[in-house]
């Protein structure tokens, strides 16, 4: 599938790095956990909770049920991150963030495609995510990725 005039995205195995406009998109390693945690805390709209830290991300990265993909610039600086998880045949996109300077470069799309490919390889049949109703940019982005609002459901949660 062609994402832009100079970008080709193929369904490469989810563990392989992808080059994108001089950036590297790859699966995160345990040693990336602290940088990812710090990066996600920068974005208020991401809802990265105070209890989510390096240790939680390390566990997620090592887990069979979790996945994290990152985008690195040519100087090895983190410019994008996506985190997801698997519950049986359902997947969830927990967080996606791109540095403002790097937006509109298809990084979010490529990170999303990496997560979705990871899910496909593990037998996931449906993926869900939560979006703040007031975040129109996110609503538009996820709609372009093929996601649609769930009808007839209300989300409830509790902090433990």
Q: pLDDT digit string (tens) for 127-145?
A: 999 888 888 999 999 999 9
- Report the pLDDT value the prediction gives residue 40, as an integer from 0 to 100: 87
Q: Is position 159 within any domain?
A: no
Which pLDDT tens digit goes with each residue over 100-114? 999 999 999 999 999
Q: Is position 80 within any domain?
A: yes
Q: Is position 124 within any domain?
A: yes
CATH number at residue 139: 3.40.630.30
Q: Is position 154 within any domain?
A: no
Residue 85 near residue 113 (C-beta atoms within 8 A): no
Q: Is position 151 within any domain?
A: no
Rounded alpha-carbon distances, angstroms, from residue 56 to 37, 42, 45, 71: 9, 17, 20, 20
Report the chain's C-alpha Rg in angstroms: 15
Label the pairing between strands 18-20 and 126-129. unpaired
Strand extents, DSSP E, the chain: 2-4, 7-8, 18-20, 23-27, 66-72, 78-87, 90-98, 126-129
Q: Is position 97 within any domain?
A: yes
Q: Which of 22, 28, 13 is nearest to 106 (CA)?
A: 22
1 contact partners, CB below 8 Å, separation of at least 6: 9
- For residue 15, give its domain range: 2-144
What's the half-sphere exposure (Cβ side, CA atoms, 13 Å) at 65?
A: 9
- In this structure, what is the dihedral angle of CA atoms 82, 107, 15, 125, given to the nearest 10 degrees? 60
Average pLDDT over residues 115-121: 96
Q: Higher pLDDT residue, 80 or 41?
A: 80
Average pLDDT over residues 56-71: 91
What is the pTM assigned to this prediction?
A: 0.82
Number of domains, the chain: 1
Predicted confidence band of residue 48 (pLDDT cuts 50, 70, 90)? low
Asked if pLDDT for residue 1 goes beyond 60, the answer is no
The DSSP output letter for 74 is: T
């Amino acid at each position: 599938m062609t994402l832009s005039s100079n970008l080709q995205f193929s369904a490469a195995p989810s563990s392989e790095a992808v080059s994108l406009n001089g950036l590297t998109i790859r699966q995160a390693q345990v040693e990336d956990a602290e940088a990812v945690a710090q990066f996600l805390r920068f974005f208020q709209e991401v809802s990265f909770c105070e209890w989510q830290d390096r240790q939680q991300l390390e566990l997620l990265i090592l887990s069979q049920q979790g996945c994290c993909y990152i985008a690195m610039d040519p100087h090895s600086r983190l410019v994008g991150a996506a985190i997801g998880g698997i519950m049986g045949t359902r997947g969830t996109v927990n967080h996606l963030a791109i540095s403002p300077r790097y937006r509109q470069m298809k990084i979010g799309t490529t990170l999303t495609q990496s997560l979705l490919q990871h899910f496909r390889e593990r037998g996931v049949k449906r993926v869900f995510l939560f979006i703040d109703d007031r975040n129109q940019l996110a609503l538009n982005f996820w709609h372009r990725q093929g996601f649609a609002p769930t009808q007839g459901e209300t989300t409830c949660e509790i902090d433990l």
